[in-house]
Structure 1
Amino acid sequence: MKQIQADVVVIGGGTAGMGAFRNARLHTDNVYLVESHVFGTTCARVGCMPSKLLIAAAEARHHALHTSPFGIHLNKDSVKVNGEEVMDRVKSERDRFVGFVVSDVEEWPADKRIMGKARFLDAHTVQIDDHTQITAKSFVIATGSHPVITPEWQALGDHVIINDDVFSWDTLPESVAVFGPGVIGLELGQALHRLGVKVKIFGQNGSLGGISDPVVLAEAKAVFGEELELHLNTTARAELDSDGNVKIYWEDNDGTSGVYTAQYLLAAAGRRANVDNIGLENLDIKLDSRGVPVADELTMQTSIPHIFIAGDASNQLPLLHEAADQGKIAGDNAGRYPDITNGLRRSSIGVVFSNPQIAFIGLRFTSVEAQYKPEEYVIGEVSFKNQGRSRVMLVNKGHMRLYAEQGSGRFLGAEILGPAAEHLAHLLAWAHQMKMTVPQMLDMPFYHPVIEEGLRTALRDANAKLKTA
């Protein structure tokens, strides 16, 4: 077995691992990157990029079918979906994005890239399969995450799919049952529906798209419920019928029930960190309730000082930009260990690319409730139903609520359902990171007519409720 003495070992070659490897090498050349499957990122291969390609195709059909309110009349029979062509573009563009990532990896020294599954033997040693042992001064765990599939779903064989499988289809199916109305389930469920696939979405606790604000959530249920069949407070079981299809027996909490037969069950009920089989049992390391090493969010340092963790494996925000930031911090500190420093952690921002879009900035409503008494914060809000630019474009659906600290007027966070939420979210995230107050935000320029005027309306509403010091 090959024996290697290293300064740093990075376990995992995704977004966080690549960032950690790159930044650790700023301090030492004796850094190794270990990957068990393929180098590249979840985002490029099976996540944000291919999903947006599918959503773009869905939007094209949806717009073509909804031109009549503008006085533009199409022959609806001519709006046809060629499933093979849709998936050909999704896969070809996906492969192009992956190619860019892989080409970066291939520029790194080949002898510092090792393929195989790494397991800790002790706090300073990992073994890769049965061919290599590496002893190192520090480590970065960047092993990513995987979709949750229940034992019941596993019995469905290849009729239960995850988002990875969707982007391997050669054509579109006729029907899908989506289990999990979170970000992935809502994005893919709506996209497939708009491409002509029969879709029903099932959930258990009444949530939708990760929204915590009750007013925004109620509006989201109404808006998406007009287009999609949602069962968000449901008990359900799934089995294969004699034809090999998935049969869903469901009952809502209001007593209604039914049976839905689909070609596939899309498992979108969350993701779990890939830390089960990396030898954590051989380490005296502090774990959270889910079995994931606890880490300082500013240094990414675990309870074992020379072991760091980053990306989806860290059980913090499972987003590409967060993984990149965490990887940079973890790699920098692993490379300079024991001289560690706090890294830059940006204001929280998240976007769901549904239509209308959903966005979260800073503190969500539940966090505001937990940290502040009711009299210590105010809420500013706006409906997009009558917002000028939104009505012009016939995208006037949704609601925004933003939160500000009473007394100081400091902007705390927001939850948005509405048009151009991805752009509104960036404006608000920048304001949040700069610790701006609502009055300061209102001093910023607003053009007319733009959707951003809706943001100004919400800020004015909040400002009217503030009693600033």
Structure 2
Amino acid sequence: MQTIHIDVAVIGAGTAGLAAYRAAKAGGASAIVIEGGPYGTTCARVGCMPSKLLIAAAEAAHHAGHTDKFGVHVDGRIRIDGREVMARVRRERDRFVGFVVKGVDGIPEQDKLRGYARFIDNTTLQVDEHTLVQAKRVVIATGSAPVIPPPFKAFGDRLIVNDDVFDWEILPQSVAVFGPGVIGLELGQALSRLGVRVKVFGARGGVGPLSDPAVRDYARQALGEEFYLDPDAKVLEMGQAEGKAQIRFVSLDGEEETEQFDYVLAATGRAPNVRGLGLENTSLPLDQAGVPLFDAQTLQCGDAPVFIAGDANNILPLLHEAADEGRTAGDNAASYPQVKAGLRRSTIAVVFSEPQMMMVGSRFADLPQDGFVVGEASFEDQGRSRVMGINKGLLHVYADKGSGRFLGAEMIGPRAENLAHLLAWSHQQGLTIAQMLQMPFYHPVIEEGLRTALRDAQAGLDAIALA
């Protein structure tokens, strides 16, 4: 077994790990990145990019079948070739992965180590059976993996996770989706639009990441008009029959039903990949899930020379957050024992359903009661939205009662991904509602709906000031 002495050892070559490695090197430290699995980030291989490829195909099919309202008639039926759809998804997915792998190829060979790392102590790692890494500091950037609740094992080989979808060569006829979160809604709606019979089951009433009851209820109704969606499903029995997954449940109309599906997609969340790291051999304090306790600003684990970044810490499992955290962890690993808070941008989240969903800044559920006002805008009669035939949506913006500062927003509606960026920039700059209303709004654009919500919030603030 060989021994390597290094300043910084980074475990994981995903988005956070690669950012940490580059930051550590830029900080003047010697560094090595350790990876046991295939190169290529979660985003490129099984996350954001392949899912958007499937969604793009679904949108093309949906829009082609809904042109009559414009007086444009597509003669004959729309034919969806599932084999061609999935061939493009895999081809373009592999192209995106190739870009990441090409970036890894640019790392000097002596800075890359293949194998699975396990802690011997706080800063000593054993990589498989071939290498002992004696590091001065360590960055954990091992990503996350889908969580499969034990009862789902009853589906046997009919059970899949989102990673499996993108390796399909053809589209199945039917899929049951458990979990109406971001992954479940995006893939469920996409598959439905591509002709797959889909039912989406949830628990406790959640729809995507939304916490505002009014916006969440609107989302439930809007999406439920297109495909079966029960966010608070009562599932009575899970199993297999006749080579398919079988589910006995209480339907939305209160009747007990039994249906069979080609596959069951478990979109029930993801958990940090920390099992098998040997963290029990360290002095790091761990939470109930076995994840090291850490400072959310510096990403340092306790007072040890160990840092944790990206999906492995499960703060905000998003690509741009992973990149920022990787840089913070790498910077601090290089400069240890001097550490400092890293960049924390305003929170922004988008669900690429149709209508889209977004959240910016503070969630409704996290705001202090009676400390804010709500500005509302419906997109059902919003000018440009009606022109384009995408006039479904509800936007809520939140403003601090005392200062008028913009606190956050939740929305389902058209072009939510674009509005989310405008609002996130405003939130990060600490703007008030009045200052946001001083910004230019063109006509006719969907952004005028945002102005309506801001005006409504300002009216609420003015009423408080006059009271």
Return the TM-score normalized by structure 2.
0.97
The reply to whether residue 373 of structure 1 matches residue 372 of structure 2 is no
Q: Does the 8 A contact of 1:201 with 1:230 survive in 2?
A: yes
- The alpha-carbon distance between structure 1 residues 253 and 448, as it changes in their structure 2 partners (threshold 3 A), is closer
Question: Within 5 Å, which residues of 2 pair with 1:13-162?
Answer: 13-77=13-77, 79-162=78-161
CA distance in 1, matches of 2:220, 2:234: 18
Partner of 2:430: 435
Contact 2:24/2:30 (8 A) holds in 1: no
Distance 1:354 1:248 in 2: 25
SS at the partner of 2:239?
strand
- Deviation track 1:103-151 (CA, whole Å, cap 9, x = no partner) reads 0101101121111111111112011111111111101000000001122
Q: What SS does the aligned partner of 2:276 have?
A: coil
Q: Aligned with 1:462: secondary structure?
A: helix
Q: Is the 8 A contact 1:238 1:248 kept in 2?
A: yes
The C-alpha deviation readout for 1:380-420, integer Å capped at 9, x for no partner, is 01011000000000000010001000121000000010000
Q: Which ranges of structure 2 fall in alignment gaps of 5 or more residues? A: none
Whether 2:411 is the aligned partner of 1:416: answer: yes
Q: Percent identity?
A: 56
**In 1, Cα distance between equivalents of 2:296 and 2:256:** 45
Secondary structure at 2:448's aligned position in 1?
helix
In 1, Cα distance between the equivalents of 2:459 and 2:444? 23
**Matches of 2:139 and 2:249, distance apart in 1:** 44
Unaligned runs of 5+ in 1: none
- SS across alignment from 1:119: strand
**Pairs within 5 Å for 1:157-196:** 157-196=156-195
Specify the alignment match of 1:7 in structure 2. 7
Shift of 1:253: 8.6
Residue 396 of structure 2 corresponds to residue 404 of structure 1: no
The residue number in structure 2 matching 1:207 is 206
The aligned runs of 1:219-298 (5 Å cut-off) are 219-236=218-235, 237-241=237-241, 243-251=242-250, 255-298=254-297
SS in 1 for 2:324: helix
1:334 aligns with 2:333: yes
TM-fit CA distance, 1:255: 4.3
Return the letter of the residue paired with 1:397.
K
Q: Is the 8 A contact 2:118 2:277 kept in 1?
A: yes
Give 1:343 deviation, angstroms. 1.1
Whole-angstrom distance in 1 between the partners of 2:178 and 2:112: 37
Give CA deviations for 1:345-390 in whole Å, capped at 9, x if unaligned. 100000000000000000010011xxx231x210001011000000
- Deviation, 1:240, is 1.1
Equivalent residues of 1:238, 1:249 under 8 A apart: yes
Letter in 2 for 1:133: L
Shift of 1:252: 5.5
Contact 2:284–2:302 under 8 Å retained in 1: yes
What do residues 142-183 of structure 1 show as CA deviations (whole Å, max 9, x unaligned)? 000000112232343331111111000001110000000000
Structure-1-length-normalised TM-score: 0.97
Shift in Å at residue 340 of structure 1? 1.4
Residues 269-311 of structure 1 show CA distances to partners (whole Å, capped at 9, x for unaligned) of: 1001111210111122222332211222221111143100000
Is the Cα–Cα contact under 8 Å of residues 46 and 163 in structure 2 kept in the other structure? yes
Task: Say if 1:65 and 1:76, in contact at 8 Å, map to a contact too.
Answer: no
Work out the CA distance in 1 between the residues paired with 2:423 and 2:415: 13
Residue-pair matches, total? 463
Q: Counterparts of 1:435 and 1:81 in 2: how far apart (Å)?
A: 47
Q: CA deviation at 1:60?
A: 0.2
Cα separation, 2, equivalents of 1:177 and 1:443: 47
The two structures, once aligned, show a CA RMSD in angstroms of 1.3
Query: Match of 1:246, SS?
Result: strand
Once residues 153 and 38 of structure 2 are traced to their aligned partners in structure 1, the CA distance between those partners, rounded to angstroms, is: 24
One-letter code of the match for 1:319?
L
Secondary structure at 1:177 match in 2:
strand
CA displacement, residues 312-331 of structure 1 (integer Å, 9 cap, x when unaligned)? 00010110011011001001
